[in-house]
């Protein structure tokens, strides 16, 4: 072999790895837009990753995720959405609430968006219809507002002596607040309950809301659906226990944290479905052709003593959650009512982990 040919071969061999890497397609990037913070959403993030995996994607292996957290400040969402658009992500997911979905929709009409909202996405202007979304957005419509009357009815059965009920909403989540208050007023009037509306959009305002209810001698608390409230679920559980105030919430995250009862959609499973849809779009599906899914998994979660006088579940321990349609035996139902009556005594039996306290006091 001549010297010139040898040099040519060696040069080609050295350059080949660079050429191979250059020919590999760039890893797609998902923009993840959330109104809250990562700490209270660990289980949901795992569900999102599971959904991606079901669609054939693993973060760090064949897809990247750029996370943007508004830290419970909805006014930051537009800038965070614009940043994801500037980074030219392949798809934006907004897995919780209308504010994040609307911020993403306002930021781009080209990048696909996968949302999860508890209001009518057609009325919000996110899609043309549920069956044929059109445009660049699709996702999940999960039940919260539609279940207000049922939640209140179940809560009344659990706390039959309640007459004065506080209703806590977040004014920063305007659309959901209006729907909740409208439905609560109608449902409460139908079953003879008096309501007191309170607003909270900060940690301090949640504290003050509970103090106001204690001064007013309210019998119970009905908490509206909101991402910020969900991120403060341990605070809710501790304050409700301290004031001896039975409370009803929108999803099972609250009873797991120590709250009394919840009824609503399985939000964790919604995150999984969001991951599946994002993966399908990465594979070439168009949002306009993917119908908006209706969340069908409803859960009834209760935090109550056992039938043999057991103490309440510890804060952070998963309660037994029932799905809508589950049959409850007479003894179990009596136990639930007994649990509601005995629940104000629970503060003496509740154990709080040190790490939970650190998270609660973190602002």
DSSP conformational letter for 63? B
Rounded Cα–Cα distance for residues 163 and 18 (Å): 73
Tokens 């959901």, residue? Answer: 176
Contacts of 63 (CB under 8 A, 6+ apart): 27, 28, 29, 30, 52, 57, 282
**H-run or E-run covering 264:** strand 261-265
Helix (H, G, I), strand (E, B) or coil at 57: coil
Residue of higher predicted confidence among 282 and 314: 282
Q: What percent of the chain has pLDDT over 90?
A: 64
The number of beta carbons lying within 10 Å of the beta carbon of residue 235 is 18
Q: Which residues, at least 6 apart from 230, have a Cβ–Cβ distance to it below 8 Å?
A: 36, 40, 250, 251, 253, 254
- Indicate whether 317 pLDDT > 60: no
Choose the weakest-confidence range: 88-102, 173-187, 213-227, 274-288. Answer: 173-187
Write out pLDDT tens, residues 64-89.
999 999 999 999 999 999 999 999 99
- pLDDT attached to residue 9: 54
Are 247 and 219 in contact by the 8 Å Cβ rule? The answer is no
pLDDT for res 10: 53
Q: Indicate if the pLDDT at residue 340 is higher than 50.
A: no
Q: What is the pLDDT of residue 14?
A: 53
The one-character DSSP state at 216 is T
Q: How far is it, in rounded angstroms, from Cα 348 to Cα 244? A: 11
Q: What is the mean pLDDT of residues 221-238?
A: 94
Helix (DSSP H) and strand (DSSP E) numbers for the chain: 14, 13
User: Could you give the CA distance from residue 224 to residue 239 in angstroms, rounded to a whole number?
Assistant: 16
Structure confidence at residue 176 (pLDDT): 84
In a 10 Å sphere around its CB, with 0-12 CB exposed, 13-18 middle and 19+ buried, how is residue 308 labelled?
Answer: exposed
Q: What is the mean pLDDT of residues 225-250?
A: 94
pLDDT band (50, 70, 90) for residue 331: very low
Q: Give the per-residue pLDDT at 297.
A: 78
pLDDT at 327: 38
Alpha carbons 89 and 356: distance in angstroms, whole number = 35
Distance, CA of 278 to CA of 285 (rounded, Å): 9
- Report the alpha-carbon distance of residue 216 to residue 198 in Å, rounded: 12
pLDDT in tens, 5-20: 555 555 555 555 544 4
Q: Are 86 and 95 in contact (CB under 8 A)?
A: no
Strand order in the sheet with 137-141: 64-69, 29-34, 91-94, 113-117, 137-141, 293-294
- CA separation for the pair 149, 235 (Å, rounded): 25
pLDDT at 209: 97
pLDDT at 341: 40
pLDDT value at 322 more than 80: no
What is the arithmetic mean of pLDDT over 173-195? 91
pLDDT of residue 166 exceeding 80: yes
Alpha helices (H) in the chain, listed in sequence order: 3-23, 42-54, 77-86, 98-107, 121-124, 148-158, 174-190, 203-215, 227-231, 233-243, 253-257, 267-282, 330-342, 354-360
pLDDT digits (tens, 9 = 90+) for 247-294: 999 999 999 999 999 998 888 999 999 999 999 999 999 999 999 998
- pLDDT at residue number 265: 87
pLDDT tier at 313, thresholds 50, 70, 90: very low
Q: How far is CA 26 from CA 29, 110, 336, in A?
A: 9, 19, 55
Q: Which domains does the chain have, with CATH numbers?
A: 29-143+267-294 (3.40.50.2300), 145-264+298-360 (3.40.50.2300)
């Amino acid at each position: 072999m001549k010297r010139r040919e040898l040099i040519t071969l060696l040069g080609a061999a050295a350059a080949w790895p660079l050429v191979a890497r250059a020919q590999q397609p760039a890893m797609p990037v998902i923009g993840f837009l959330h109104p809250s913070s990562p700490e209270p959403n660990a289980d949901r993030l795992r569900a999102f990753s599971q959904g991606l995996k079901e669609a054939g994607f693993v973060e760090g292996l064949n897809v990247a995720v750029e996370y943007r957290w508004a830290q419970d400040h909805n006014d930051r969402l537009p800038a965070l959405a614009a940043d994801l658009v500037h980074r030219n992500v392949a798809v934006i997911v907004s897995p919780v609430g209308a504010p994040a979905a609307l911020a993403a929709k306002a930021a781009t009409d080209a990048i696909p968006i996968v949302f999860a909202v508890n209001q009518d996405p057609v009325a919000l202007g996110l899609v043309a219809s549920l069956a044929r979304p059109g445009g660049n957005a699709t996702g999940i419509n999960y039940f919260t507002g539609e279940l207000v009357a049922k939640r209140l009815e179940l809560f009344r059965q659990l706390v039959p002596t309640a007459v004065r009920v506080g209703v806590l909403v977040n004014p920063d989540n305007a659309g959901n607040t209006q729907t909740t208050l409208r439905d609560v007023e109608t449902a409460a009037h139908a079953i003879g309950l008096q309501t007191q509306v309170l607003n909270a959009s900060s940690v301090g305002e949640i504290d003050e809301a509970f103090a106001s209810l204690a001064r007013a001698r309210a019998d119970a608390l009905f908490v509206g659906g909101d991402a910020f409230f969900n991120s403060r679920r341990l605070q809710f559980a501790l304050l409700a226990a301290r004031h001896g105030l039975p409370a009803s919430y929108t999803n099972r995250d609250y009873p797991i944290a120590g709250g009394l009862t919840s009824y609503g959609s399985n939000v964790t499973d919604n995150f999984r479905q969001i991951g599946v849809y994002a993966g399908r779009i990465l594979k070439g599906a168009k949002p306009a052709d993917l119908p908006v899914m209706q969340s069908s998994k409803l859960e009834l979660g209760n935090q109550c003593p056992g039938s043999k006088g057991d103490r309440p579940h510890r804060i952070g321990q998963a309660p037994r959650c029932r799905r809508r349609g589950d049959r409850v035996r007479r003894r179990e139902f009596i136990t639930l009512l007994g649990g509601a009556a005995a629940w104000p005594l629970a503060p003496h039996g509740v154990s709080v982990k040190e790490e939970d306290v650190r998270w609660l006091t973190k602002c």
